[in-house]
């Protein structure tokens, strides 16, 4: 004897409620990623506007310097740094090189960390690049930026002298620690150097891609659940038959 027991209405309603809960979570995750994309797009737009704005005088108070703003720095005269610091593993246009850093006074009691240009690395790591200063005759523009990290994390990497007055380092903090401002010369102060300006990338596209994935998962879930509901009711054998 067989006892056919179709799925009860209560079980079906429970399944519908659980399915709606899953669908709600998937859609909410998609909307959250869209919100994140819009938020980062807004920040990126604000920073691009600030970066394109005319340069303002460099504040005497270092805490008043804002990242991604252009500032006007007075002429560096005389400009003869005691040591040039080569920040290692800095890649520009697919080529490895050094960001050349110096510490310069911004006022009587404060200093700034200034990136005076990017130079390609010589063929041999034991060689030092040629550093030929071309200091500006008057005021020049700089970009305040977050401190860079090396292309490869050398937390325990050695700092070594490549030549008198030229030190290769693995972290910008080895020159002047935070919160000393980090500035980049818009026009390099070294002959043959390039300006290594940071890119503003807030991964807006990545968040939109994540949102698309969540919405696709929601659609696939609805299709699979609809097909599951069209299957014949669940039946089981009566063990006492």
181-229 pLDDT tens trace: 899 999 999 999 999 888 766 667 888 899 999 999 999 999 998 888 8
Higher-confidence residue: 138 or 105?
Answer: 138
Cis omega before residue 179 (within 30°)? yes
Q: What is the pLDDT of residue 150?
A: 58
Spatial distance between the Cα atoms of 126 and 122, rounded to a whole number of angstroms: 8
What mean pLDDT value characterizes the chain?
Answer: 82
Chain centroid to Cα 96, Å, comes to 19
Check residue 58 and give its pLDDT: 86
Q: How far apart are CA 210 and CA 136, in angstroms?
A: 47
CA neighbor of 96 nearest in space, from 161, 168, 146:
168
pTM exceeds 0.75, yes or no? no
Residue 109 banded pLDDT, cuts 50, 70, 90: low
Look at residue 170 and tell me whether its pLDDT is greater than 90.
no
Please measure the distance between the N-terminal and C-terminal CA atoms of the chain and give it in whole angstroms: 4
């Amino acid at each position: 004897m067989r006892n056919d027991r179709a799925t009860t209405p209560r079980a079906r309603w429970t399944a519908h409620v659980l399915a709606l809960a899953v669908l709600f979570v998937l859609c909410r995750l998609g909307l959250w990623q869209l919100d994140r994309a819009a938020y980062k797009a807004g920040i990126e737009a604000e920073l691009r506007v600030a970066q394109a704005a005319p340069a303002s005088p460099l504040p005497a108070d270092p805490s008043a310097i804002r990242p991604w703003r252009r500032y006007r720095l007075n002429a560096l005269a005389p400009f003869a740094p005691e040591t040039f610091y080569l920040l290692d593993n800095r890649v520009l246009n697919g080529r490895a090189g050094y960001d050349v850093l110096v510490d310069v006074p911004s006022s009587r009691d404060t200093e700034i960390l200034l990136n005076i240009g990017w130079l390609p690395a010589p063929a041999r790591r034991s060689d030092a690049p040629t550093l030929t200063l071309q200091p500006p005759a008057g005021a020049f523009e700089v970009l305040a930026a977050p401190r860079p990290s090396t292309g490869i994390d050398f937390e325990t990497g050695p700092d070594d002298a490549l030549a008198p007055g030229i030190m290769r380092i693995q972290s910008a903090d080895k020159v002047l620690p935070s919160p000393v401002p980090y500035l980049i010369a818009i026009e390099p102060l070294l002959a043959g150097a390039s300006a290594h300006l940071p890119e503003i990338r807030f991964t807006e596209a990545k968040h939109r891609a994540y949102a698309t994935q969540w919405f696709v998962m929601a659609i696939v879930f609805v299709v699979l659940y609809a097909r599951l509901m069209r299957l014949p009711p669940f039946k089981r054998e009566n063990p006492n038959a």
